Amino acid sequence: LARGFPGLKLTSLVFARGQAVAAVPFASFLYNGAQMPGKSLPTARKYYFVNQLKTWSDAQSYCRLTYNDLATLENADDMSKLNAATKNWQIDVVWIGLYNDINSWKWSISDQAFYIAGGAGYRNWGLGQPDNAMGNQSCVSMMSTGTFFDNTCDTDGSFLYILNLFIGAVVA
């Protein structure tokens, strides 16, 4: 993958929900959400770290052009696995897909079928966050501790993005 995108550096570890699998350039979670009739659902998710500085909007555009979207984190278990896999990366802050949509924090992937039960509402705010300092913090970064904080969207930062793998047929 990195050969196809000059300057792109991917680093991570693969793990399925509940166990480490292998060291490869992505992280994967098996999907276990509710299945809706007539919809093909993602069965695995891969999280990529991109060590390029971009604004939140530029990072989201990059993610949508290359794969899917900025990373969405659905529960504390996934958060702790991601933290364990990335603890030695020497990265302080990364963009994730959470943003403020007129006083309501939302993930940039809006399709509810994407989420496990309750996953769309998962937040791991740091102490005193979100604070909307100076009235212009509408995008969210994740610190190396796994906590979220609101940030100005035009700040340059590295980012995580997500790729959904659709394996199997449409659910009947």
pLDDT values of the chain reduced to their tens digit, one per residue, 172 residues: 333 333 333 333 333 333 322 223 334 433 344 444 444 444 466 777 787 888 999 988 988 887 678 888 887 877 777 777 767 666 677 888 899 988 889 888 776 666 666 666 788 999 999 999 888 999 998 887 888 999 999 988 877 766 554 333 333 2
| 106 CB-near residues (< 8 Å, 6+ apart) | 98, 99, 100
Q: Where are the alpha helices (DSSP H) in the chain?
A: 56-66, 76-86
Instruction: Report pLDDT for 100.
Output: 92
Domain boundaries, the chain: 2-165
Q: Which fold has domain 2-165?
A: Mannose-Binding Protein A; Chain A (3.10.100)
Beta bridge partners of 149: 141
Model pLDDT, residue 26: 37
Task: Please report, to the nearest 10 degrees, the dihedral formed by the alpha carbons of residues 57, 59, 64, 69 taken in order.
Answer: -100
pLDDT at residue 138 in the model: 93
Residues 6+ apart with CB under 8 A from 69: 60, 63, 97, 108, 109, 161, 162
